[in-house]
Structure 1
């Protein structure tokens, strides 16, 4: 135990990705069946030296599993990433595009994991499409009951909050965007009627800083309830971040969130 604590402390001190090192993906047939549908005939290269996708080996909550993408080489820009949960009913959790102010990339999201599964990130880099990820032990994330009654969830749907953190350098900032939305997967039951709640989720999100887009998302049912995205970006001096979100029911929300928010 003492040795393990020393190793963990060393990993933290050096800024090394402990999850990715200790938790590699496992061989299995599912990705072979999915690959052509997700990325076509491209064969991804290993992400070693380009980026790391950190995943927990065992999730504390299968409905909110954190995935963190960290660019390893500042010269190897990660401009787009596809997050895939192999064993989920809808494996592609989301496709993300990143603007120049997000680079070098440090980006975290939360996904649902329905059963023990590889969780992989396929990212576009100057060296081509690269892949990294881990094997997550979790189950029931896509059918886990929503935290609010459906009628109550409608009341604050679309509300947004920006959290800001201490500056990393003079112009690199860390922030978190949180959006209220049940993101129903279509696999959850109403706790009163026991009927399935129809799928209803955020399908597009854009976060901008002034006229410059930081990142966009095209999402599916594997993104967690009340989506939250934590990221590092270069501050261009704009006083606020603007978040635009749409869902599968045609709702559109647009909020201007001052950077002084906490």
Structure 2
């Protein structure tokens, strides 16, 4: 991904117009005017590139798994939640995430589907109100892209989870750690076709996730069809000394997946 993004950036810099598009992360568009009320109601929104940054490839290598990285640059204002919106997607709200105190300052990555050239915006919730930043992403077909696995295999492995830790194990609690949680799930969008019958596959996706270390909440998600197949979340948090992370997820078919992931065994 890093090599692809770097190559796209070099190509863009060759054109002054393209470079200006990258410098201005959110282009003007009528879609957001229609969406805004459904997402935040009448709340005021401050646009800022100083509280947090949003990193995404200008030209996505794979429209079905576009990485979105949220990095909090200004730690003086806490971010308690964030809503990720892909303006031009059939269901624009990819997910709303609530963050526990141990997540601050926020460093969070997820992967989304992008159906056509679109603004991808993040609306962070703070004690002072909504703060927005984002990127313009060139990608198409992400919501209707075929699943990468045979449906039977995808359903057989559904709910499997894996935890990956990065860096050395901290010597004491409250040390900053970086982790990645992967959940097996086809996350069908309802816009994909069975490759044999050519019939549409019914929407079936993870709609809630809760991640805790011991009793302490790290983050929750309320998600939709714009979250990628086999969701992956990479994040930093303050370790409280617990030996496990507990992940509980539900999907739109009423399935419940709950796992205790050992920090020792999986690292």
Same fold, judged at TM 0.5 (above): yes
The structural deviation recorded for 1:168 is 9.4
Contact preservation (8 Å) 1:31, 1:86? yes
The structural deviation recorded for 1:162 is 0.1
Whole-Å separation in 2 of the counterparts to 1:47 and 1:251:
39
Whole-Å separation in 2 of the counterparts to 1:86 and 1:169:
40
Deviates more, 1:104-113 or 1:146-155: 146-155
Contact preservation (8 Å) 2:83, 2:122? yes
1:143 maps to 2:178: no
Contact preservation (8 Å) 1:23, 1:55? no
Question: How many residues are paired up?
Answer: 245
**Which residue in the other structure is 2:126 paired with?**
125
Contact preservation (8 Å) 2:22, 2:136? no
Whole-Å separation in 2 of the counterparts to 1:168 and 1:80:
27
Deviates more, 1:129-138 or 1:38-47: 38-47
1:210 maps to 2:214: yes
1:255 maps to 2:255: no
The structural deviation recorded for 1:49 is 2.1
**Which residue in the other structure is 1:75 paired with?**
76
Contact preservation (8 Å) 2:44, 2:129? no
CA distance 1:57–1:169, shift in 2 (3 Å): farther
Whole-Å separation in 2 of the counterparts to 1:228 and 1:219:
13
The answer for unaligned runs of 5 or more in structure 1 is: 9-19
Whole-Å separation in 2 of the counterparts to 1:61 and 1:41:
35
1:39 maps to 2:22: no
CA distance 1:149–1:68, shift in 2 (3 Å): same
The structural deviation recorded for 1:165 is 0.3
Contact preservation (8 Å) 2:208, 2:223? yes
Whole-Å separation in 2 of the counterparts to 1:43 and 1:55:
25
1:227 maps to 2:228: no
Whole-Å separation in 2 of the counterparts to 1:152 and 1:164:
27
CA distance 1:23–1:147, shift in 2 (3 Å): farther
Whole-Å separation in 1 of the counterparts to 2:112 and 2:181:
15
1:242 maps to 2:246: yes
- Residues 57-116 of structure 1: CA deviation (Å, up to 9, x unaligned): 110100000111111111211110000000000000000000000000000000000000
The answer for unaligned runs of 5 or more in structure 2 is: 1-5, 10-20
The structural deviation recorded for 1:244 is 0.3
**Which residue in the other structure is 2:113 paired with?**
112
**Which residue in the other structure is 1:183 paired with?**
187
RMSD: 1.7
